[in-house]
A = this chain, B = another copy of it.
Amino acid sequence: MLADQDELQNETCRRLLAAASEEFARHGYASARIRQIVVAAKVNVAAVNYYFGGKEGLYRATLRYLAGRPVPAKAIANRRGRAPEERLQRRVYAILDRFIGSDRPSPLGRILAHEAMDPTGNLESLIGDTMKPEVERIHALLREIAGPDVPDRKLAHAALGILGQCVLYLYARPTIEDLSPGFAYGPDTCKALAAQITEFSLGGIERLQRTLGPEK
C-alpha cells in the first residue's frame, strides 16, 4: 500500500480514485460497487486491495482526495474592503459553484449528502473539513451585516438557512427538476441563484433587526 501523498503519482491509483469518486457520489458507500469502479477505471479488481486495502480504504482515500482539492480559484476572490453584503454573495456563490457549478453534481457534495443520510463514521471529519468553516464564515458575515443587537442564536439559524437554500439544489436535484420544469443546472444558474439567495437572505436579516424593536 502506498503512502497517502504518493497515491496521485500512480496512474492506476489516480484512475481508481477518479472512478471511485463518481461511483461513491452516485450511490453512497454501501451501494457503490467495486466492480463498477474498476471497470470505469479500466483497472483490475485486485488493484483496489493492492493499493487501498479494500473498499473501505478506497472510500477513505476518495474522501481525502476530494476534500483535499482546492476550491476553484474564481470563487476564492473574496477580498476584504468590500461591503459585507457583497462578500456574502461571493460566499454563497462559492458554495453553489462547488456543489452545482458544473453541469454535473459535485461528487464531494453528493458524498456529503449520502454520508449525512446514512453515516459510515466519516461524517464528522468531512463536515469539519468542508461545511463547518463555510457556515462559520457566513455566520461572521451576518454578524457584520446585522450589527451587535441581533441575538447569536438567530444569526446561527440564518446561516443554516442560507446553507439550506444552497444544498437543496444539491441534495434534491431530481426533485427540483420535477418541481420546476425548465430549471437548468449550470454556471449561469449558479450566478443567478447566488444573487437571489443573497437578496432573499438579506431581507431576512433586515427583518430580524427590525423585529428587535427600532434601534433600542
Which A positions have Cβ atoms within 8 angstroms of B? 26-28, 30-31, 110, 113-114, 116-119, 123-124, 127-128, 131-132, 135, 154, 156-158, 160-161, 163-169, 171-176, 178-180, 193, 196-197, 199-208, 210-211
Q: Are A178 and B124 in contact (CB under 8 A)?
A: yes
Q: A116 with B172: in contact, given A124-B178, A131-B179, A165-B161 (CB under 8 Å)?
A: yes
Closest residue of chain B to A114 (Cβ to Cβ) is B117
Assembly CA distance A203 to B209 (angstroms): 10
Copies of this chain present in the complex amount to 2
Assembly CA distance A210 to B127 (angstroms): 37
Q: Are A175 and B131 in contact (CB under 8 A)?
A: yes
Q: What are 18 A-to-B residue pairs whose CB atoms are below 8 Å? A: A27-B30, A28-B118, A31-B118, A110-B117, A114-B118, A117-B171, A123-B174, A123-B175, A123-B178, A127-B175, A135-B179, A156-B180, A157-B200, A160-B180, A164-B164, A199-B211, A202-B204, A203-B206
User: What residues of chain B lie closer than 8 Å to A205, measured between beta carbons?
Assistant: 200, 203
The main secondary structure of chain A at its interface with chain B is helix
Assembly CA distance A43 to B89 (angstroms): 55
Assembly CA distance A144 to B163 (angstroms): 27
Most central of A28, A113, A116, A117 by chain B CB within 10 Å: A117
Assembly CA distance A165 to B163 (angstroms): 8
Question: How far apart are A49's CB and chain B's nearest CB, in angstroms?
Answer: 22
Assembly CA distance A197 to B27 (angstroms): 31
User: What residues of chain B lie closer than 8 Å to A207, measured between beta carbons?
Assistant: 199-200, 202-203, 206
Q: Which of B28, B132, B161, B199 is in CB contact (< 8 Å) with A31? A: B28
Question: How far apart are A13's CB and chain B's nearest CB, in angstroms?
Answer: 26
Question: How far apart are A176's CB and chain B's nearest CB, in angstroms?
Answer: 7
